[in-house]
Amino acid sequence: MKKIGFIGLGIMGLPMASHLLKAGYEVIVYNRTMSKAQPIVEKGAKLADSLRELARESEAVIIMVKADAEVEEVILGNNGILEGAKPGFIIINSSTISPKTSIRLAAKTAKAGVEILDAPVTGSGVQAIEAKLTFMVGGNEEVFKRCMPLFTVMGKQAFYMGESGKGSYTKLGNNVMLAINLLAVSEALTLIYKAGIDPEVFLQVVGGGGARSGMAETKIPKIVKRDYKPAFGTAMLAKDLALASDLARELQVPVPVMSTVKEMVQIAVAKGFSDEDVCSVIKCYEEWAGIEIK
């Protein structure tokens, strides 16, 4: 495959598409806000006038948009991908959506002779820029193997998880762990800072033992610098936790810790931190503790 479409040029999508362009792929892009496509168009990507046109000119398309409704609209909507896709076309959906939606889309695209992979990623905007994303993929295994060169250009590794929906299931499990870890870091950091401990030294201590975590390593420096520019937005995490909560009910799995974390993230959203990085949840703790960590 040489002609790759890309839909959704936000924090994650723009660097992912840029890596494909740098690797020599012919990249055709579409974004609802067309101005966001300008930086990559100036570097050589082609801008499609519609999703239908993008599908007609591509061999495969990667989707990186916010939620289920947007993914469905992009694929099934009027003048959407399925209207322009030929049999054998491949859709790689890297958006985080409900496994039910992934499975439903696989059934609908199959009727048109189109393959679809649910291929969400671990990592934030920083990892997208550095091409260090990890893909977790559900769908046809042979199609997964055909798409491996694309995954290795945009990220560091890709795992085949099973049939359609399994990539989406894996992503929700990953983000449950991420969110719980985020709140653990926030509570511990608030506690030690109010006790007079240097947070940067604390991070070094944590890094040498069993409490070491990616959340501590990436978010404590941001918190200390008061840097809430989003690598992963709070509203997006709240959306993912809502999906995970739905899944827990469906599978009848008790999730008491996740339920508490979900409410904490929702409090951060209610306080106006939706578009800030997920580590902005620390500001809730700071308010309650009467401190400002820096």
Please identify every residue annotated as catalytic.
171
Report which residue type is found at 162. Answer: G
How buried is 192 (Cβ within 10 angstroms: 0-12 exposed, 13-18 middle, 19+ buried)?
middle
**For residues 29 and 47, is the Cβ–Cβ distance under 8 A?**
yes
Give first-to-last CA distance, the chain, whole Å: 49
**Kind plus residue range of the DSSP H or E element containing 129:** helix 125-129
Cα–Cα distance, 121 to 283 (Å, whole number): 27
Torsion, CA 34, CA 37, CA 39, CA 45, rounded to 10: -130
